[in-house]
Structures are given as structure tokens and as C-alpha cells.
Structure 1
Amino acid sequence: MPASKIPNMIMRDAIAEDAVCIGVLGMQVFLDTYATEGIRSSIANEALHAFAPQTISQLITQPGVSLLVAQVNGHLVGFAQIKLNASHSMIDAADAAELQRLYIQERFTGLGLGCQLLQAAEQHAARGGAGLLWATVWVGNERALGFYPRRGYEVLGSPTYTFQGETHGNRLFGKPLVLST
């Protein structure tokens, strides 16, 4: 069933009270995506740091960063994290924004929720003055590697990401934005 048909689904800006739920959902999706061979200390430390409630609380109040949440029946099922004025060494555009995270709880994938949340993130970035939205995707995330091109994103490069002393390959996707009225 498409996201627009999910009963009682709403999208809104995150508020301070969402920090714990965003953190737990973020950790769940992160581990489902990146801990494909189990948990090791580098993955555990990254998840605990990136999704700690205080980290999410800081993101919610950080100027230039926005979190959009998707809720069904009062339960958080997805979120998008957008950073305005985000440059990247492989992108020439001065008016770029970064989609830092687009996380959907597994049982809600395939229902169109990701598409709807991505569109909301694109519009948010465009309203913030961005002419391009970019995102990096881990090369092991086959679902996301297929998702972005279907939504009009082009591969702009192959950067790496290092965390906890480990370096991982990524694909850099970008899409020009048009503010819809």
C-alpha cells in the first residue's frame, strides 16, 4: 500500500521529545543496514554515539540541520535528516544541501514511505535555498543504490567514509532541485 494510503500517517518536523525515538529507530535501521555480519566494536561504538539521545537532541536544535519524521498511529516509522549549505569536494554547486540520513523502519519499507519522505526532504532543502540535494550511500546498501537513481539522482562520484578507524566505499548521488508551489 502506498505511503499516502498508510492509515494515520503524518510527516512533520522533529521536536525535542522525538530525540529518544529517533535515536532508537536510527540505531535499529543503522544496525540492520551496516551490521550485516553481526556486531563488532566499531559498529557498536558508531551506533551508540551517532544515535545517543543527546546527539539527536543537538541535531534537532542545530541551525541549518532539519529532521523530518514520519509517524503512523503516533509511532515513529521513519525520518530524514537534511543539512543546508553542505558542500562536498566532488560537487561544484555552491547551493547544495545534504540528505544525511533517510531511515525507514524495515516493516514500513516498500510502501512508498521512503519516496514520500525523500520528496519532503527535497522540498525542505529547496525552500532553504538549495539547488541540489546530495547523499552518500554505502556500496553494500543495494536497496539504497537502486532507490536514488529511480528518484532522479545521478552518481556524482565514489567517495569513502571512515569511522572507528575503518574506511568504507560509498556512492555520491545528487539531484537538482526545483521548488514546487
Structure 2
Amino acid sequence: MISIKKATIKEVTDLALVGKKAFIIPHKDAIPSKIMVNYLNHSFSEKTLLEEITNPNYQYNLIFVDDNLAGFSKIIFNHKNDNITQTNVTKMERLYLLEEYYGLGLGNKLFQHNLHLAKEQNQNGIWLYVWIKNFRALEFYKKVGFKKIAMYDFPISETEKRPNDVLYLKF
């Protein structure tokens, strides 16, 4: 059985583990290990996740398969992007699945859930960054209707950046 629910502070430890595992999959060969460890330890620390989960501007949504956490998303309502003229747009900052759950349509289910939430909040679209070599993600976002609107150098450390596409889906 597949279910989706809003994350609470009770899931922070599991969220941290899933976030680290899911981030490594597409980036493991592209980011030097020391930088990777530092990025993961900061971005997916329980402290960072607890601060974000309790921030009313952020929403984490968890997807479960038979009560097992398979992945999550992070969205931010009303988060402007300089490349988008519309107001009231949602940033989807994460849409992560554990590798063992690939191919089950869970990414699409979680994305559709986020899309529904954004429309409920009277948003005009969803935007995101995706690394230009994350081909699996790029193909997925293209399939659900996103369009590339710009480029962005995503910082993964004080000295390292990775080129990302800025994608936008206007409602």
C-alpha cells in the first residue's frame, strides 16, 4: 500500500537517512568525497531538518510503501525566482526516492501530491533546480511538463558549484 503524509518532527531521523542515501545516488561520481560528506552532514543533519520541518514556509511530504519510508519531497510555497515573472510560485527543493523504489511510479505520485498542494495554495506554478547530469530526474521533469528557463550554479561547498537547469511548470 502506498501512502503520502506531511512530515513531523517524529520522522526527522528517518528523513535524514533517506535524504543522504537518495542524494548520493546521482551525485556519487561527480562530487569529491570530502565535499560530499560535508554537504550531506549539513543538508541532511537532524538539526537542519528539524529547523525546516518546524518552519511554516517549508513542507516535507513523505511517501511510504507498506509503512516503509521510500522517499520524500520538500516544497516552499510563494518562493520567488528571478527568472519567473509570475508571483505565487512554489519551489520544489527536493523530490527524492530510495533506489530500491525506482520504477514503481512513486516519484510521479509524490509530484502529483505536491502539484495538488500548490494549486490548493493558489500558486501559479512550480519551479526547481536540477543538476544537468541528473538525466533520470531531467527526463522525469520533462515528461510531467517542466520547461527549462535558465541555468544556475548550485553551491555544494564554499569552493564547489554544480551547473543546474532551472525548470518551471506554469499552471
TM-score range, shorter chain: over 0.9
Q: Which residue of structure 2 aligns with residue 150 of structure 1? A: 143
RMSD of aligned Cα (Å):
1.3
Q: CA deviation at 1:29?
A: 0.8
1:87 and 2:80 are equivalent in the alignment:
yes
Q: Which residue of structure 2 aligns with residue 5 of structure 1? A: none
Q: CA deviation at 1:65?
A: 0.7
Structure 1 stretches lacking a partner, 5+ long: 1-7
Q: CA deviation at 1:31?
A: 1.2
1:47 and 2:40 are equivalent in the alignment:
yes
CA displacement, residues 103-138 of structure 1 (integer Å, 9 cap, x when unaligned): 011111111100010010111112122111001100
Alignment map for 1:160-179 (pairs within 5 Å): 160-164=153-157, 165-177=159-171
Q: How many residues align?
A: 170
TM-score w.r.t. structure 1 length?
Answer: 0.90
Q: Which residue of structure 2 aligns with residue 58 of structure 1? A: 51
Q: Which whole-Å CA distance do the structure 1 matches of 2:67 and 2:77 have between them?
A: 28
Q: CA deviation at 1:39?
A: 5.0
Q: What is the identity percentage for the equivalent residue pairs of Structure 1 and Structure 2? A: 24
Q: Which whole-Å CA distance do the structure 2 matches of 1:64 and 1:50 have between them?
A: 17
Q: Which whole-Å CA distance do the structure 2 matches of 1:57 and 1:143 have between them?
A: 29
Q: Which stretch has the larger CA shift, 21-30 or 155-164?
A: 155-164
TM-score w.r.t. structure 2 length?
Answer: 0.95
Structure 2 stretches lacking a partner, 5+ long: none
Alignment map for 1:55-134 (pairs within 5 Å): 55-134=48-127
What is the letter of the counterpart of residue 168 of structure 1?
R
1:29 and 2:22 are equivalent in the alignment:
yes
Q: CA deviation at 1:163?
A: 2.3
What is the letter of the counterpart of residue 33 of structure 1?
P
Classify the secondary structure of the residue corresponding to 2:29. Answer: coil
